[in-house]
């Protein structure tokens, strides 16, 4: 994923599943072109991660 797509997902009215290292995450903030802040949806832990490590899985129904 790139930072532009991460911003689009953040601004989306729908819920789009995003994974980081196989775990579902919520994109909290795009920090710069290479880094985003995410919250792990299973553990609630926030961390800054490389945006290119995020995997978009699609709309949640």
pLDDT above 90 (res 10): yes
Predicted confidence (pLDDT) per residue in 45-57, tens digit: 999 999 999 999 9
Distances (CA, A) of 7 to 22, 43, 52: 20, 23, 13
Map out the domains of the chain as residue ranges. 3-59
Give the pLDDT score at 51: 98
CATH class of 3-59: mainly beta
Phi, psi dihedral angles at 9 (to 5 degrees) = -65, -40
């Amino acid at each position: 994923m790139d930072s532009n797509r991460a911003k689009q997902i953040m601004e989306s009215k729908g819920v789009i599943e995003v994974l980081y290292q196989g775990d579902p995450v919520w994109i909290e903030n795009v920090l710069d072109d290479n880094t985003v802040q995410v919250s792990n949806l299973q553990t609630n832990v926030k961390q800054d991660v490389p945006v290119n490590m995020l995997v978009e899985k699609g709309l949640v129904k």
